[in-house]
């Protein structure tokens, strides 16, 4: 699944860049950026786009890049599901 990178969240990408969520590195970057910098609306969209099981699967790979308070929240949240 291709997704156009939202410039609010991916300001460091060239305008019009797309992420291929079937590509593991793109998916990890998308999830990391949304859960770190996204609004509630962005996170809801993420959870409608990417199955929670997939977020749980990739979380160990991205958690070291998250600020501690974000990492702790998501560790607790994902542990409850």
Single out the residue of 9, 3, 4 nearest to residue 32, CA to CA: 9
The total number of structural domains that make up the chain: 1
Task: Please compute the mean of the pLDDT values over residues 66-81 and round it to a whole number.
Answer: 95
Label residue 13 left, alpha or beta by phi (over 0 means left) and psi (-120 to 50 means alpha).
beta
Query: Is residue 81 pLDDT above 90, yes or no?
Result: no
> Which pTM does this prediction carry?
0.94
pLDDT of residue 66: 97
Q: Between 81 and 39, whose confidence is greater?
A: 39
Provide the domain limits for residue 20: 2-79
The pLDDT tens digits of the residues spanning 11-64 come to: 999 999 999 999 999 999 999 999 999 999 999 999 999 999 999 999 999 999
DSSP 67: -
């Amino acid at each position: 699944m291709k997704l156009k990178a939202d410039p609010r969240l991916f300001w460091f990408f060239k305008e019009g860049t797309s992420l291929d969520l079937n590509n593991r590195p793109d998916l990890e970057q998308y999830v990391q950026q949304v859960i770190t910098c996204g609004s509630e609306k962005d996170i809801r969209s993420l959870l409608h786009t990417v199955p929670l099981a997939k977020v749980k699967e990739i979380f160990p790979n991205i958690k070291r890049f998250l600020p501690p308070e974000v990492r702790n929240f998501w560790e607790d949240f994902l542990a409850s599901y």
